[in-house]
C-alpha cells in the first residue's frame, strides 16, 4: 500500500472502529450518560419483599434497598458506598470524589432509606402494626397490664393510630446515621447495625405516639 493510501486508510479505520463501539453501546442500552457504577446501582433488582410480620426482617429489607438507592442517587456503586460508610475518613474521601459534603452523603443515604420505605408502603408489603403488637410490646418492656390493655383495642384502631409506613418513615428520619456508622468497624457490619437502629427508632416512635394518645392512662400503663 502506498504512503498516500495509508494516510487515508488509517482515519477511515478509526471511524469504522468508533462506529462499531457506538453500535455495541447503543445495542446494549448505552444511550445513558450515567457512570457505569451508578447505572449498575440504579438498575439492580430491588430485594425481595419481606414475607413475614417481623420488624427486623422489614428493616433489613429497608437497609439493603436503601443503600442501593442511595448509591444510585449519588452516582456511585453500592459496593463502593458500603465500603466507605463505616469510616468517617473514607466517607469524606468518597464525598469529595462525588462533589458533595459528608453531611450531604449521609442525607442521600437517609433519602435512599426513605425511598425504600415508600416502596414497601406503595406495594402494600408493610404489615399492619396490629400484627406486630407482640413484638412491639416485648421491646417496649411494657407491664403485663399494658400489654393486655393494648390487645383489647380493635386492630383497625391500632392501625389507624400507628400506620406502619408513618412509624418507619419517622424512625428513618430520626435515627442518628453518623453515630450508627461510627460504631462499626467494617462494611460487613453495616446492615446488621443499621437495621436494628431503625427498629429501635420505630419502637421509640410507637411508644411516643401511644403515650401522646393515652393521656393520664399512659402513666398507669407504663407508657409515660
Structure confidence at residue 215 as a pLDDT band (50, 70, 90): low
Q: Has residue 12 been placed in a domain?
A: no
Q: Has residue 30 been placed in a domain?
A: no
What domain range is 83 assigned to? 48-221
Which residues, 6+ apart, have CB-to-CB distance to 68 below 8 Å? 41, 44, 46, 78, 112
Q: Has residue 202 been placed in a domain?
A: yes
Structure confidence at residue 13 as a pLDDT band (50, 70, 90): very low
Q: Has residue 7 been placed in a domain?
A: no
Q: How many CB atoms lie within 10 A of CB 56?
A: 14
Q: Has residue 68 been placed in a domain?
A: yes
Which residues, 6+ apart, have CB-to-CB distance to 122 below 8 Å? none
**Per residue in 89-146, pLDDT tens?**
999 999 999 999 999 999 999 999 999 999 999 998 898 888 887 777 777 777 777 7
Angle of helix 164-174 relative to helix 190-214, nearest 10 degrees, comes to 120
CB 109 within 8 A of CB 85: yes
Lowest-confidence pick of 11-25, 75-89, 101-115, 174-188:
11-25
User: pLDDT at residue 67 above 90?
Assistant: yes
Q: Has residue 64 been placed in a domain?
A: yes
Number of structural domains (the chain) is 1
Structure confidence at residue 36 as a pLDDT band (50, 70, 90): low
Q: Has residue 36 been placed in a domain?
A: no
Which residue in the block uniquely carries the three cell numbers 458533595?
Answer: 100
What whole-number distance in Å separates Cα of residue 29 and Cα of residue 176? 39
- 3-state SS string for 67-111: HHHHHHHHCCCHHHHHHHCCCHHHHHHHHHHHCCCHHHHHHHHHH
Q: What are the strands, taking DSSP E only, across the chain?
A: none
Q: Has residue 63 been placed in a domain?
A: yes
Size of the chain, expressed as the number of residues it contains: 224
What whole-number distance in Å separates Cα of residue 151 and Cα of residue 71? 41
Share of the chain above pLDDT 90, in %: 35
Amino acid at each position: 500500500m502506498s504512503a498516500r493510501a495509508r494516510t487515508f486508510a488509517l482515519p477511515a479505520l478509526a471511524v469504522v472502529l468508533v462506529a462499531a463501539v457506538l453500535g455495541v453501546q447503543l445495542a446494549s442500552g448505552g444511550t445513558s450518560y450515567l457512570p457505569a457504577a451508578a447505572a449498575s446501582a440504579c438498575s439492580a433488582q430491588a430485594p425481595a419483599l419481606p414475607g413475614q410480620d417481623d420488624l427486623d426482617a422489614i428493616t433489613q429489607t429497608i437497609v439493603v434497598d436503601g443503600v442501593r438507592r442511595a448509591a444510585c442517587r449519588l452516582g456511585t456503586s453500592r459496593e463502593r458506598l458500603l465500603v466507605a460508610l463505616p469510616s468517617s475518613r473514607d466517607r469524606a474521601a468518597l464525598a469529595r470524589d462525588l462533589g458533595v459534603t459528608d453531611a450531604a452523603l449521609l442525607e442521600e443515604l437517609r433519602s435512599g432509606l426513605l425511598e425504600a420505605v415508600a416502596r414497601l408502603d406503595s406495594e402494600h408489603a408493610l404489615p399492619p402494626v396490629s400484627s406486630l403488637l407482640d413484638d412491639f410490646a416485648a421491646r417496649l418492656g411494657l407491664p403485663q397490664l399494658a400489654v393486655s390493655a393494648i390487645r383489647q383495642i380493635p386492630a383497625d384502631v391500632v392501625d389507624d393510630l400507628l400506620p406502619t409506613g408513618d412509624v418507619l418513615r419517622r424512625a428513618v428520619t430520626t435515627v442518628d446515621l453518623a453515630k450508627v456508622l461510627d460504631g462499626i468497624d467494617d462494611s460487613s457490619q453495616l446492615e446488621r447495625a443499621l437495621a436494628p437502629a431503625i427498629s429501635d427508632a420505630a419502637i421509640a416512635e410507637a411508644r411516643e405516639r401511644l403515650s401522646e394518645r393515652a393521656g393520664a392512662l399512659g402513666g398507669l400503663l407504663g407508657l409515660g
